[in-house]
Amino acid sequence: MAGNRVTLKDIAKSLGLSMATISRALADHPDISSETKLRVRDAAQALSYIPNYRARYLRAKHSRLIALIVPEMGMFFTPSMITGINRVVQANDYSLIVFQSDNSLVQERRLLEYCTHLSADGVLLVLATETSDLDHLALLGECGIPVALLDRTIDTTRHTTITIDDEAAGHEAATYLLQRGHERCLGIFSDERQRISASRLKGFRRAHFERNVPLAETQILRVAMIADLDGLLDRAFAAHPDVTAIFTMTDELLVHTHHLLARRGIKIPKDVSLMAISDGQAPAFLHPNVTHLRHSGVEEGERSAHILIGMIEHNSDAMMDVRIRTTLVELGSVAIRSQPARRRVTR
């Protein structure tokens, strides 16, 4: 309640100096004698002076604020991504301000506008599922605010993006399963409007094609709502009683698939093998631990923040397309089947 804060003027008055001197003394300006600096610092300490950042940044062009817009606060990837971003942002003396678009394009646009109001120095954006073009980013462009698209994005040559190579990951996963003799896999993907889904699926398909293993449409599950998964699995198993492996493209799909398999009494990896693209946390607490392509949220966050801060500080509008590599983590949820390479691989 006390409320009214100590300002430069108060210090100036108490020392019989001008505000300018105080300001410079606190900023360690060479013009000020070290004796004065000492006196000023002591006085500031004594009065428990707190600079007003808004006033300071009103003059400066920047705000040292970085905005992050995520579609939603899921429990899987987002928290570790935020952790990574935060680490870098704080280390560089920026602050992070987090918004949620609730997967709505309208909200996303509103939030971008809000970022301009706040004069954020940069924006990290994970696109909403609804978003299918990038026109609304022009808002930021007009204000000269750099933006980087993270994780989920859509094809663009005009904006910096930081993603994993989704197609390669899908391809690697499928190849891994195929190499171990799993010629009838299910691939569980999320909403195909997201490029991330489409790409991973594309890689998954290509791996089958390259090895000359047929892949029926019914082996591909497209899960828009997690509640649908149960029914989709039923249908897939009915169509393909010979399924020996399942791939899920996210952690969320993984944990629910894992659960639904357990409920059906299907043993991993004895009856069915399981593999995922994952942040690495869920695979560690599921039984058995799940083999996965690790896509580290922390790393993606850190890289993204670094890149954005680079754009801010070097005023660069160079467009980049950064791919973070995934690493294979084998934890024993994939069995090796008898006929390893039925159709000779090396032709």
Partner DNA sequence: GTCCTTTGTGCAACCGTTTGCGCAACAATT
Partner DNA sequence: AATTGTTGCGCAAACGGTTGCACAAAGGAC
Instruction: Tell me which residues touch its own copies (CB under 8 A).
Output: 1-3, 5, 48, 50-55, 57-58, 61, 63, 72-76, 78-80, 82-83, 86, 90, 95-100, 113-114, 116-119, 141-144, 255-256, 258-259, 262-263, 281, 284-288, 315, 317
Q: 2 or 60, CB closer to DNA?
A: 60
Residue with smaller CB distance to its own copies, 164 or 312: 312
Among positions 42, 52, 209, 343, the unique one binding DNA when judged by CB under 7 A: 52
Within 125-184, the residues that bind DNA by CB under 7 A are: none
> 293 φ, ψ to 5°?
-90, 115
Nearer to DNA, 44 or 245 (CB): 44
- Residue 30 half-sphere exposure, CB side, CA atoms within 13 Å? 0
Size, binding site for DNA by CB under 7 A? 29
Nearer Cβ to its own copies, position 149 or 229?
A: 229
Determine if 46 is a binding residue for DNA (CB under 7 A). Answer: no
58: contact with DNA by CB under 7 A: yes
Give the nearest distance from C-beta 118 to DNA in angstroms.
Answer: 12
Closer CB to its own copies, residue 255 or residue 275? 255
What binding mask, one character per residue, do residues 16-35 give for DNA by CB under 7 A, x or -? xxxxxx-xx-xx---xxx-x
Q: Shortest Cβ distance from residue 308 to DNA (Å)?
A: 23
116 binds, among DNA, its own copies, none (CB under 5 to 8 A by kind): its own copies
For residue 74, the partner it binds in DNA, its own copies, none, with Cβ less than 5 to 8 A by kind, is: its own copies
Angle CA 124–125–126, to nearest 5: 130
**Of 158 and 323, which CB lies nearer to its own copies in the complex structure?**
158
27 vs 341 by CB, closer to DNA: 27
Any idea which residue has 């983590």 for tokens? Answer: 329
- CA–CA gap between residue 248 and residue 189 (Å, rounded): 6
We find the least distance from the C-beta atom of residue 317 to DNA, in angstroms, to be 21
Of the candidates 288, 188, 308, 171, which has an alpha carbon nearest to the alpha carbon of residue 247? 188
Sheet holding 273-278, edge to edge: 220-223, 185-190, 245-248, 273-278, 291-294, 327-329
1 binds, among DNA, its own copies, none (CB under 5 to 8 A by kind): its own copies
Residue type, 85: I
Q: From DNA, its own copies, none, which one binds at residue 18 (CB under 5 to 8 Å depending on kind)?
A: DNA
Contact of residue 105 among DNA, its own copies, none (CB under 5-8 Å per partner type): none
When the beta carbons of 18 and 95 are compared against its own copies, the nearer one is 95
Q: Which residues bind DNA (CB under 7 A)?
A: 4-5, 7-9, 16-21, 23-24, 26-27, 31-33, 35-36, 49-52, 55-56, 58-60
